[in-house]
């Protein structure tokens, strides 16, 4: 089996790409490119470079909680995605990790 990677893209609810939320644009693009697994995780609480602590309990008109978009796939596919989507991902914190696949559904292995 080829090596796999986990790509983590850190953004926020308020980040946009064109007219849509950035995390939605990333997921739609990953779906179009048929990446293996993509999910967006919304934080309950956190802070970024601006150092303002935000929580889901705050009563605010405009919420801007942190969001992590995680993508799992073969290393070559992840690297191609990063290259192809460089413009969309400008300004995001991005991490890339080697992962060990312990088990995949049988349909993926065929």
Alpha carbon distance 25, 8 (integer Å):
15
- Looking at the chain, the whole-number percentage of residues with pLDDT higher than 70 is 83
97 alpha carbon, distance to own chain's centre = 13
For the segment 62-102, what is each residue's pLDDT rounded down to a tens digit?
A: 567 889 999 999 999 999 999 999 999 999 999 999 999 99
Highest mean pLDDT out of 58-62, 65-69, 104-108: 65-69
**pLDDT, greater one: 46 or 22:** 22
**pLDDT, greater one: 2 or 56:** 2
Report pLDDT for 27.
98
CA angle, residues 7, 20, 81, in degrees to nearest 5: 30
Q: Lowest mean pLDDT of 4-8, 20-24, 30-34, 61-65, name the range.
A: 61-65
3-state secondary structure labels for all residues of 20-74: EEHHHHHHHHHHHCCCCEEEEEECCEECCCCCCCEECCCCCCCCCCEEEEEEEEE
Which band of pLDDT confidence, cut at 50, 70 and 90, is reported for residue 49?
low
């Amino acid at each position: 089996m080829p090596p796999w990677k986990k790509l983590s893209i850190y953004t926020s609810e308020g980040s946009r790409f064109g007219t849509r939320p950035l995390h939605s644009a990333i997921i739609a693009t990953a779906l179009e490119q048929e990446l293996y697994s993509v999910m967006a995780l919304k934080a309950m609480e956190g802070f970024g470079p601006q150092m303002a602590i935000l929580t889901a309990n705050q009563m605010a008109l405009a919420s801007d909680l942190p969001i992590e978009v995680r993508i799992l796939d073969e290393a070559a596919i992840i690297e191609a995605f990063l290259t192809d989507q460089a413009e969309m991902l400008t300004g995001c914190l991005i991490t890339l990790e080697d992962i060990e696949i312990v088990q995949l559904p049988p349909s993926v292995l065929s």
